[in-house]
Amino acid sequence: MARLIDKKLSRRRFLGTSSCALAVATVGSQTTVLKALASSGKVTTSKGAGTKDVFTACGMCVNKCGVIARVRDGRIHKLDPNPEFIKSRGMLCARGNAGVKVIYDADRLKYPLIRVGKRGEGKWRRASWDEALDLVAKNMNEIAEKYTRAGVMFASTEGTFQEHFFLQMAECFGSPNTVRHPTLCLSSNIQGFGATYGTNPTPDVLNADYIIMAGANRSEALITPDSIDQLKGDGGRRKLIYLDPRFTKTAAKADEWYPIKPGTDLAFILAMINVIISEGRYAKEFVEEMTVGFDKLVPHVKPYTPEWAAKETEIPAEDIRRIAREFAAAAPKAIYYQGRRSSFFTNDTQLRRAMAILNAIIGNWDTEGGMVPNSKIKLVKHDYLAPWYDDVPERIDKGSAAFLSEKDGSWINLRNRVLEAKPYPVKGMMIYKQNVVMSVPNRAKTLKMMDQMDFICTIDIVMSDTAWYSDVVLPEATYLERQDPLESLSGILPVVAFRQPCVEPLFESKPNLWIMQNLAKRLGSEVAETFDFTMDEHIHHQVSKNPQILKDLKSKGVHYMKVLPTYGLTKGKRLKTKTGKIEIYSANYAKKGLDPLPTYTKHEDVPANKFRLLVGRSAIFTHGTTANNAYLHDIMPENTLWLNTLSAKKMGLRDGQRVKVKSRVGEGTLKLEVTEKIRPDCVYMAHGFGVISKGQSLIFDRGACDAALIEDKVEPISGNAAMHQTFVEVSPA
């Protein structure tokens, strides 16, 4: 203690006004210059020290590809793909390469910040971790005391490897109100395929001879290994049919592209099923043995002829019929690819059910080139005993969707109930790296919800719009600075991924485990005890039943058990459905009053003088998280509004001019891109621009934000957002 005081006094003196001819002050054996520099009297050099190659996993998007960080003189010089990482086929995309910029971004969060001005005004002061965490704990406890522990909601996102600890904090604090990204993304996919197969299988893209991709833009919305495999094919026999109102880069690589009328994909699939059944092209033995409810499907699809579907989809009947025949002929090495994001329309779960059923009747289940159930390498789970609290109500969004995920919730439903304080008030937000302001449809409502909060704390690496509207912002170390727990990535070829610190964290950023542990200490011993472990202990516990995993990760950056797929493991076994078979007819749905077989319903047509707003991805950006990255920003500095040439001509609008886009819930201004690459009744803008936070200096005031425009419509079975049911007006800005 005495030495610490001495040191403080000495620093004070030398920083102070008294001049001193001696250049350094001696504090014990340590000599301090003024504040930041100290002398040992020995000349050293760090050149060459800290030069190493480090295996880690990318953190720029959901895929977590294997990376080798080339560290030179203690600084990350370059990121290279790990050729051993079979899931990404030894590849690293533009975003992965640009990861260096994440760590060395001058706009990154550096220290804990406490809001000083009004919320959203942008006035902050730097705080110590102790002060910031004390404030967070105080507010969490006060809200819990006043409104029950459910009064604090916990929003987080997937893909960070340290999200588990945040969810653990939510559970141990005692709030049921966790809300995650799936209902802005793939929850209807999980629900639709899960209801049919008991799982959401992976399409074996590499080995399929015939692939139909509908709205799954794999050349730009990158998913490994599919994005690479779709281009490889098997000996040139591959045929790719692509359905999308936009001519995307996937369309450019496809054999055939159909600009399907948005919202009619279900008609296309039902007509394909109609053709395959009526012409006896289905896998009869497989259907007999492995499915239930086929007998009910036969009359159900009778009205759904290609001629009927042609009127709905605007795809010629002869093409639908031919594609159905080709698809069945290629079976079982044919897949109707379900994609990942499925937050399109309010019937999305039924659409995914139809996709699952179409795949089932051609017998492509668990076969080469078909739909393959995921394998996963087991890691030992971290167990903890969460404290029990008596007075906590159920989730605020309970009952808002037919099949609501207890952990994920339904984002739009949850927000809207929080706004109404029904059935109880939620007054605190803890947010872990989810940019809710940019990603939840109807931004105005999200901001209104945040206005209602007594307290908001955001943990992130950048000053996102959500962080900007917070009261306390805590800087997490970036993925290149952290040791993360091991992550088992399921798939046809499952792997365990590894993330280790390539360099020390810059500034005062900390890994999320450290943040949670130090917050837990302030919330009481019961919560703190559940976090009483080190990262090293955690990792060794994960591999306690198979230490080879860690050895492989250290020596080659990835662990896998096989390099060739294994098919047919589920043959002769019960599936994880109620009947143990593929449920073409869902008695479970019938019991809940839902259509047990997918039934087509028409969506509202585009009103006169308006356009349907489509949202989508760019291969350069990951949602709203990477647009402020200087390397990526250089390639795509802003988003534009795609408008068909004919529509632009009719309206007297020209390429490059600025236009105003207005929906029922918001508006935005951005540059017009007049193009043939979109249907005349639709407009499109890339996600991730039009930010409110001026803390993101490259993209502030650039482009428009789709979340500000999209109406908050919800798919009722899974609670997923319906993001393609917003109509907009376009006018000169």
Binding part of the chain for other proteins, among 109-117, 193-201, 482-490, 723-731 by CB under 8 A, reads 109-117
Q: Phi, psi (5° rounding) for residue 325?
A: -65, -45
Residue 2's contacts (CB-CB under 8 Å, 6 or more residues apart) are none
Angstrom distance (rounded) from CA 635 to CA 675: 19
Q: Tokens 């999320």 label which residue? A: 512
Which residue in the set 41, 280, 572, 652 belongs to the binding site for other proteins (CB under 8 A)?
41
d(CA 503, CA 74): 6
Which of 27, 65, 86, 105 lies at the binding interface for other proteins (CB under 8 A)? Answer: 105
Please count the residues of this chain forming the interface with other proteins, following the rule CB under 8 A: 65
> How far apart are alpha carbons 172 and 177 in whole angstroms?
12
Q: Quick check: 23 binds other proteins (CB under 8 A)?
A: yes
Q: Nearer Cβ to other proteins, position 71 or 414?
A: 71
Alpha-helical segments (H) within 426-479: 436-439, 443-451, 465-468
Q: How many CA atoms lie within 13 A of 565 on its CB side?
A: 21
Q: Is 474 or 683 the residue whose CB approaches other proteins more closely?
A: 474
Residue 245 near other proteins by CB under 8 A: no
- With CB under 8 A as the contact rule, the residue among 3, 15, 279, 422 that binds other proteins is 15
Residue 38 or 421 with smaller CB distance to other proteins: 38
- Return the SS3 of 430: strand
Site for other proteins (CB under 8 A): which residue of 3, 26, 28, 39?
A: 39
- Measure the CA–CA gap between 259 and 676, rounded to whole angstroms: 11
User: Tokens for 72?
Assistant: 């030179």
Question: Contacting other proteins (CB under 8 A), which of 4, 29, 40, 391?
Answer: 40
106 vs 608, beta carbon nearer other proteins: 106
Handedness of CA 74, 76, 81, 87 (dihedral sign): positive
Task: Check binding of 424 to other proteins (CB under 8 A).
Answer: no
Quote the least distance from Cβ 310 to other proteins, whole Å. 51
The three-class DSSP label of residue 4 is: helix
Place of tokens 């704390």: 457
In angstroms, what is the minimal distance from the CB of 617 to other proteins?
24
Q: Report the C-alpha gap between 699 and 681 in whole angstroms.
A: 29
Nearer to other proteins, 73 or 537 (CB): 73
Confirm or reject binding of residue 465 to other proteins (CB under 8 A): no
Convert residues 680-709 into a mask of x (bound to other proteins by CB under 8 A) and - (unbound): --------------xxxxx-x---------
Residue placing its CB nearer to other proteins in the complex, 72 or 538: 72
Residue from the set 3, 110, 574, 602 that interacts with other proteins by CB under 8 A:
110
The single residue among 51, 80, 90, 104 that binds other proteins, judged by CB under 8 A, is 104
Q: CA-CA-CA-CA torsion for 287, 315, 184, 706, nearest 10 degrees?
A: 170
Looking at the Cβ atoms of 105 and 706, the one nearer to other proteins is: 105
Compute the least distance from the CB of residue 462 to other proteins, in Å: 10
Count of CB atoms situated within 10 Å of the CB of 100: 19
| Residue type present at position 335 | I
d(CA 463, CA 700): 11
Report residue 232 as tokens: 């490889």
Question: What is the rounded distance in angstroms from the CA atom of residue 405 to the CA atom of residue 158?
Answer: 15
Sign of CA dihedral 379, 380, 382, 387: positive
Angle at 252 between CA 631 and CA 650, to 5 degrees: 90
Our measurement of the distance from residue 154's CA atom to the centroid of its chain's CA atoms, rounded to an integer in Å, reads 16
Residue 526 beta carbon to other proteins: minimum distance, rounded to whole angstroms: 32
* Residues of span 42-61 touching other proteins by CB under 8 A: 42-47
Among 71, 92, 135, 463, which residue interacts with other proteins (rule: CB under 8 A)? 463
Nearest alpha carbon to residue 595 among 361, 320, 261, 293: 293
Q: Which residues pair with 30 in a beta bridge?
A: 27
Least distance (Å) between residue 688 CB and other proteins? 17
Alpha-carbon distance of 129 to 582, in angstroms, equals 53
Q: Which stretch binds other proteins (CB under 8 A): 116-124, 172-180, 674-682, 717-725?
A: 116-124
In the complex, least distance from residue 74 CB atom to other proteins, rounded to whole angstroms: 8
Q: Which of 65, 91, 113, 132 binds other proteins (CB under 8 A)?
A: 113
Question: Using the rule CB under 8 A, is 78 a contact of other proteins?
Answer: no
Binding mask 632-661 for other proteins (x = CB under 8 A): --x---------------------------
The verdict on whether omega for the bond into residue 565 sits within 30 degrees of 0, i.e. cis, is no
- Residue 308 found at the interface with other proteins (CB under 8 A): no
Nearer to other proteins, 25 or 315 (CB): 25
Contact call for residue 125 and other proteins (CB under 8 A): yes
Q: Identify residue 733 by its one-letter amino acid code.
A: A
Contact 107, 627 (CB under 8 A): no
Asked if 551 interacts with other proteins (CB under 8 A), we say no
Q: Is 130 in the site for other proteins (CB under 8 A)?
A: no
CB of 655 to other proteins, least distance (A): 29
Q: Who's near 100: CB < 8 A, 6+ residues apart? A: 76, 77, 78, 79, 480, 631
Q: Which stretch binds other proteins (CB under 8 A): 104-112, 333-341, 596-604, 724-732?
A: 104-112
Quick check: 639 and 613 in contact, CB under 8 A?
A: no
Site string for other proteins, 503-542 (x = CB under 8 A): -xxxxxx---------------------------------
257-286: which residues touch other proteins (CB under 8 A)?
A: none
- Strand arrangement, sheet containing 52-57: 52-57, 66-72, 75-81
Among 3, 52, 78, 123, which residue sits at the site for other proteins (rule: CB under 8 A)? 123
For 284, the enclosing helix (H) or strand (E) is helix 284-290
Residue 29 near other proteins by CB under 8 A: no
**Smaller CB distance to other proteins: residue 468 or 642?**
468
Phi first, then psi: give them for residue 338, nearest 5 degrees.
-85, -15
User: Minimum distance from CB of 469 to other proteins (Å)?
Assistant: 13
Q: Does 75 bind other proteins (CB under 8 A)?
A: yes
C-alpha atoms less than 13 angstroms from C-alpha of 169 in its C-beta half-sphere: 29
Q: Does 17 contact other proteins by CB under 8 A?
A: yes
Among residues 79, 116, 114, 106, the alpha carbon closest in space to that of 94 is found at 79
Only segment of 349-357, 520-528, 562-570, 628-636 that touches other proteins (CB under 8 A)? 628-636
Residues 147-206 that bind other proteins (CB under 8 A): none
Provide, rounded to whole angstroms, the least separation between the CB of residue 107 and other proteins.
5
Residues that bind other proteins (CB under 8 A): 12, 14-17, 19-24, 32-47, 73-75, 100-101, 103-111, 113, 116-117, 122-126, 463, 504-509, 630-631, 634, 694-698, 700
